[in-house]
């Protein structure tokens, strides 16, 4: 009798313990997991999106100049300028003369392709939203000084022929450049990837 009672008591204890354990596990599984910190990666994502957008404009500009000049601008540095930085960079001796051609407005941007203004041609492609609207090709400038008046004279509308895919693949890599006042600028080095592989 005592043995039976003891066994029954032990069984009840084990049963209660097992029930509590199962309940605790079920409760833990039903608890909502900690919400991920959505704002933690937002600055990095936003910065990457801006860079991707700038790179897209730089690639378009390089392709347009390549088609217009019948020569790949390998070795050049492509510097995208958005509407936000437009007014600030008007005073820059290399970028300013190109930016003065257009009044800053929403969705206006430009890409300046530069190597050595004194020894090489300098180019600029203008965009309204994502559409290229005009371009400038300047010959080497005496003393490397780019003249806004010459920029205005050289401006022409982007034609359909300038938008086609070229025979040569263009490659972009991160470049380093600063404005005259020391402001770091997004820039891309342009290189040739050889003949395009077409299906």
Q: pLDDT (tens digit, 9 = 90+) per residue, 171-183?
A: 999 999 999 999 9
pLDDT at residue 42 in the model = 75
CB 72 within 8 A of CB 66: yes
3-class secondary-structure state, position 191: strand
Note whether residue 183 is domain-resident: yes
pLDDT at residue 93 in the model = 95
Note whether residue 33 is domain-resident: no
Split into its structural domains, the chain has a count of 1
Tokens of 70: 């019948």
Q: Count CB neighbours of 85 within 10 A.
A: 19
pLDDT at residue 120 in the model = 96
Note whether residue 119 is domain-resident: yes
Reduced 3-state DSSP string for 131-167:
EEEEEEEECCCHHHCCCHHHHHHHCEECCHHHHCCCC
pLDDT at residue 178 in the model = 95
CB 124 within 8 A of CB 62: no
pLDDT digits (tens, 9 = 90+) for 48-71: 888 899 999 999 999 999 999 999
Which of 161, 129, 122, 125 is closest to 145 using CA atoms?
122
Note whether residue 31 is domain-resident: no
Instruction: Quote the CA–CA distance of 103 and 30 in Å, as a whole number.
Output: 59
Residues of the chain with pLDDT under 70: 1-40, 198-199
pLDDT at residue 21 in the model = 53
pLDDT at residue 40 in the model = 64
CB 58 within 8 A of CB 173: no
Interacting residues of 15 by C-beta distance below 8 A, sequence separation 6+: none
The phi, psi pair for 134, rounded to 5°, reads: -165, 165
3-class secondary-structure state, position 105: coil
pTM of the model: 0.77
pLDDT at residue 25 in the model = 56
Note whether residue 22 is domain-resident: no
pLDDT at residue 17 in the model = 47
pLDDT at residue 7 in the model = 38
pLDDT at residue 2 in the model = 37
* Domain with 67 in it: 45-195
Interacting residues of 142 by C-beta distance below 8 A, sequence separation 6+: 118
Left, alpha or beta for 102 (phi > 0: left; psi -120 to 50: alpha)?
Answer: beta
């Amino acid at each position: 009798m005592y043995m039976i009672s003891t066994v029954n008591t032990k069984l009840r204890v084990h049963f209660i313990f097992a029930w509590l354990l199962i309940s605790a596990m079920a409760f833990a599984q039903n608890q909502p997991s900690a919400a991920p910190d959505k704002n933690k990666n937002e600055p990095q994502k936003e910065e990457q999106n801006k860079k991707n957008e700038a790179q897209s404009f730089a690639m378009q500009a390089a392709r347009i100049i390549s088609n217009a000049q019948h020569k790949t601008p390998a070795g050049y540095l492509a510097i995208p300028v958005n509407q936000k930085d437009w007014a600030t960079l008007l005073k820059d001796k290399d970028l300013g003369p190109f930016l003065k051609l257009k009044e800053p407005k929403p969705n206006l941007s430009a890409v300046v392709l530069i190597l050595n203004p004194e020894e090489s041609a300098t180019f600029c492609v203008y965009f309204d939203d994502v559409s290229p609207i005009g371009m400038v090709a300047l010959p080497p400038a005496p003393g490397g000084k780019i003249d806004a008046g010459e920029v205005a004279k050289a401006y022409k509308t982007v034609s359909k022929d300038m938008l086609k895919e070229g025979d040569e693949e263009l490659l972009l890599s991160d470049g380093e450049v600063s404005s005259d006042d020391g402001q770091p600028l997004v820039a891309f080095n342009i290189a040739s990837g050889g003949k395009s592989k077409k299906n």
